Amino acid sequence: MSGRGRGSPRSPEGGGRGVRSRQPIDGRGGRGGDMGGARSGRGDEMAAAAVLGPGPLRVGFVGAGRMAEAIAQGFIRAGKVEAQHILASAPSDRNLCHFQALGCQTTHSNQEVLQSCLLVFFATKPHVLPAVLAEVASVVTTEHILVSVTAGVSLSTLEELLPPTTRVLRVSPNLPCLVQEGSVVMARGRHAGSSEAKLLQTLLEACGQCEEVPEAHMDIHTGLSGSGVAFVCTFSEALAEGAIKMGMPSGLAHRIVAQTLLGTAKMLQQKEQHPAQLRTDVCTPGGTTIYGLHALEQGGLRAATMSAVEAATCRARELSRK
């Protein structure tokens, strides 16, 4: 292993080759306190110091797509990481401009990310990740915590591609992380302990709900929550189209459906009720809801939905075996 990465990673502000810095263009990004999260960020930095050593928490992203941007944006908005302490790499400027708009540092060098940051998220396409890990392996040290956001790549595969004893974790987020209402699950590798898992969980709670699960549940989460966003959108579209068919304007119908889904989700979370109980509360004998539910049962909604989750999970498992 190369000795280049063994010392304290150099600061992104140091202006290494290929790094470009830009100040935040609005009040959402930037220096931690803009969203009232300064106290939270300070506590997170103390927790990070216990795991990664003293100094400000620096977070790297290898890959700068929508999910990487969503995670970085969550960290910044919650005040958990300062924008200037985030460094993202990508082959071209196409996605890096979004990180620059947040006030983050950017580079075209993947190795530079590892040399500058001890906590690094890999958010590449699955077929690209092995080559990327081979490229950066020489600068990985025992101080690093490496987190894969890439679907379908197991912890054992990640550990095989990296130096021995590397601390590795897997994360499965979903698209609502873009609005800090995501569902995220994480699993740790053999050399990542509870302190690393706790640090990562605390940070990722800026993107929504985050729970640690056995790795076997990661592909199920992909089928349930990752793909589930599309399933819910399909149901949302169908609800609105039912109202449109009955004469309601399209825009109004879609707004009402979105609010109905949001309100229902909040009730399920806050009341901690089983969905069947809430459904029963809405139904009255001979009323409109039971008639509508009967139509859904005739159409096979339950079986179709269960089959959709099963099919998406099976496909995720197939991809994991490739």
- The pLDDT assigned to 289 comes to 97
Are residues 196 and 268 both part of a single domain?
A: no
Q: Examine the fold and report which residue of 182, 214, 246 is the final residue of a domain before the chain moves on.
A: 214
| 309 part of a folded domain | yes
Q: Examine the fold and report which residue of 187, 214, 241 is the final residue of a domain before the chain moves on.
A: 214
Are residues 13 and 115 both part of a single domain?
A: yes
| 264 part of a folded domain | yes
Are residues 100 and 75 both part of a single domain?
A: yes
Domain that holds residue 274: 225-321
- Calpha distance 168→106 (Å, rounded): 23
| 219 part of a folded domain | no
Are residues 119 and 22 both part of a single domain?
A: yes
| 101 part of a folded domain | yes
Are residues 35 and 119 both part of a single domain?
A: yes
Are residues 37 and 166 both part of a single domain?
A: yes
| 220 part of a folded domain | no
Binding site, annotated residues for NADPH: 110
| 247 part of a folded domain | yes
For the entire predicted model, the pTM comes to 0.80
Are residues 198 and 261 both part of a single domain?
A: no
CATH number at residue 100: 3.40.50.720
Are residues 21 and 168 both part of a single domain?
A: yes
Domain count within the chain: 2
Are residues 46 and 190 both part of a single domain?
A: yes
Binding site, annotated residues: 110, 123-126
- The pLDDT assigned to 37 comes to 40
Are residues 60 and 145 both part of a single domain?
A: yes
Q: Examine the fold and report which residue of 155, 186, 214 is the final residue of a domain before the chain moves on.
A: 214
Q: What is the pLDDT along the chain (322 residues), one digit of tens a residue?
A: 333 333 444 443 333 334 444 333 333 333 333 333 433 455 565 555 556 666 789 999 999 999 999 999 999 999 999 999 999 999 999 999 999 999 999 999 999 999 999 999 999 999 999 999 999 999 999 999 999 999 889 999 999 999 999 999 999 999 999 899 999 999 999 999 999 999 999 999 999 999 999 999 999 999 999 999 999 999 999 999 999 999 999 999 999 999 999 999 999 999 888 999 999 999 999 999 999 999 999 999 999 999 999 999 999 998 887 7
Residue 56 CB neighbour total at 10 angstroms: 14
Are residues 208 and 257 both part of a single domain?
A: no
CATH number at residue 237: 1.10.3730.10
Are residues 121 and 171 both part of a single domain?
A: yes
